[in-house]
Structure 1
Amino acid sequence: MCSKLHQLDYVSPIGLIEIIGTEEAVYSILFAERDQPVKLVEEGTPESLKLCLQELDEYFKGERFEFTFPYAYEGTDFQKTVWHALKEIPYAKTGSYKDIAATIGNEKAIRAVGSANGKNKLSIVIPCHRIIGSNGKLTGYAGGLWRKEWLLEHEKRFIGSRE
């Protein structure tokens, strides 16, 4: 990642989301701990960030179920494997760390999967909010459990329009 980093703020129904990326790709989509946007679309805002903002907006309106804007993640090979497996959890469905560990062929790596999940910087797009406990209860979420619950309910509300 040698290119200049740019930031763009998106005001979502569940708080401010900070998008960070380059001309080529988005690298981070995280909830910001502030109320007011600082960086809005302006001349020179990369297309990758503008497309991300547009697709997030469509997601929150219930019009988008998968993302196509260019994004990239940086991490260890194990983390990338976990994040790729997370992307396979369908919209409005859930899985557990145990499910992901089985998917990647390492059933004993439940804690390591949880750790990799927690290092995901592409919230919503790499859907770590779809991970729940094996007992069916909500588990930790960097954006807060209330946001996780909101995102899961949001997806359930709009899944019917997809079918």
Structure 2
Amino acid sequence: MSKLYQVDYQSPIGIMEVVGTEEGILSVLFTERDEILYQPQPDMPKVLNDCLQELDEYFKGERMDFTVPYISEGTEFQGKVWSALTTVGYAETASYRDIAVKVGSEKAVRAVGNANSKNKLTIIVPCHRVIGTNGKLTGYAGTLTRKEWLLKHEQAIKNKSVM
């Protein structure tokens, strides 16, 4: 197993913990901590530095897509769901049903929700863009308040770039 590196990122909506290896990012998750515990280290791989930069650009409204390499660890079904999430465009939303149809299991709406909740690559694999069929915000491991903030942030940036 490759050596793991960890670094915190202070986002406008809380501290995010980034974990990765030389090869790619394994997780980007919100913490409930009030202070940064993991500072960038001199031996930190380029991929983690790149991830911090891309997160920074995202929150500043300068980035709509992530290019940093990442490594997803999950079941085959979870992998299909996470891959489908990356097709939901910036400032757009899709329902759990939409994702279920996209992965070829239209009756597996709850399973899609479960896979969505296991996504460890918050924002990079945009699980915050998945909403209920009724258009309501439902379930988000990073809290519904953050989900709402992220969707409003993307909408505001998109609207600004359209003008």
Q: TM-score, normalised by structure 2?
A: 0.97
Please list every run of 5 or more consecutive structure 1 residues that lacks an aligned counterpart in the other structure: none
**Could you tell me which residue of structure 1 aligns to residue 109 of structure 2?**
110
Distance of 2:154 and 2:98 partners within structure 1: 20
Q: Distance in 2 between matches of 1:51 and 1:26?
A: 10
- Give the 3-state SS of the residue equivalent to 1:66 in structure 2: coil
- The size of the alignment, in residue pairs, is 162
- Note the alpha carbon deviations across 1:40-63, whole angstroms, 9 max, x for none: 112101111110000000000000
Aligned to 1:23: 22
Where does residue 8 of structure 2 map in the other structure? 9
Q: Deviations over 1:90-132 (max 9, x none)?
A: 0000011100011111111111111100000000011110011
Q: How does 1:4-153 map to 2 (within 5 A)?
A: 4-153=3-152
- TM-score calculated relative to the size of structure 1: 0.97
* Structure 1 segments of 4+ aligned residues over 4 angstroms from their partners: none
Structure 1 Cα separation of the partners of residues 161 and 115 of structure 2: 30
Using the alignment, how far apart are the partners of 1:162 and 1:123 within structure 2?
A: 24
C-alpha deviation, 1:160, in angstroms: 3.3
Q: 2: distance between equivalents of 1:24 and 1:160?
A: 35
Instruction: Give ranges in structure 2 of 5+ residues lacking alignment.
Output: none
CA RMSD of the aligned region, Å? 0.9
> Tell me, what secondary structure is at the counterpart of 1:11?
strand
